[in-house]
Amino acid sequence: MDARTLGLIFASLTLALSAFVYGAKFFRRGNYLLAGEWLVVGVSASNAAFFFYSNAPTAFLISHFFDAFSRAFGIPVIGVLGLMAVTHGFKPSVRADIGLFAASFAGALVLVAVPALQGVLPYFYLATWTLFTLYGAYLVLALARTGKAVNAITLTIGLAAGLAIAAIYDFYKIPGEEKNVILNFFFLAEMTWAFLLMVTFYAYDALARARA
């Protein structure tokens, strides 16, 4: 196994660990939307790590589907609604949470299964992530207004890096990434997402405590 593959496995496991740890923290706080989405990311990253290790096609398909789910609906829709618990006091019922996940899974299945949509998907994913970033900027301002400067700064870094990853995901190929250990897209993307999931939790928690 070469160094690049080891790096990809490391990045995937780092993302999975971040997703499972902070997803569990969201669950303990009763935010099942964010807990569920972080769990989805963890499952996707775990399967990505297994794929990089074994080249198992099933692991790739699972990771690909959950990746599409998170980019299209999980982060931009479910994530925003979950974060609205601390910005707008939004708290849907458990039944509504389940219905939202079910509808999002159905939507993601359509996105990955319908060939006619493949040409527009990169632009759709970029648009949805941009909308999430705009809401994230609103969250940063809310943190700044409550004196949570460190959380505002770390979230800004995570959001900016996440948007950069979204912008190059389907549009730009990093030169030499087939051989680079660190300067390859998937390593950078998974480490960025791991950081973003972590700082989003701490931003959420800081704002919840400030407004309690």
d(CA 33, CA 74): 9
Give the closest residue to 41 by CA, choosing from 156, 205, 192: 192
Pair 76, 108: CB distance under 8 Å: no
d(CA 47, CA 12): 8
pLDDT value at residue 78: 97
d(CA 9, CA 17): 12
Give the closest residue to 108 by CA, choosing from 56, 72, 62: 72
pLDDT value at residue 66: 96
Per-10-residue mean pLDDT of the chain, 212 residues long, equals: 91 98 97 97 97 95 96 96 94 93 96 91 96 97 95 98 94 84 90 98 95 79
pTM: 0.95
pLDDT value at residue 136: 97
Angle 96-102-107 from CA coordinates, rounded to 5° = 125
pLDDT value at residue 183: 83
d(CA 44, CA 57): 13
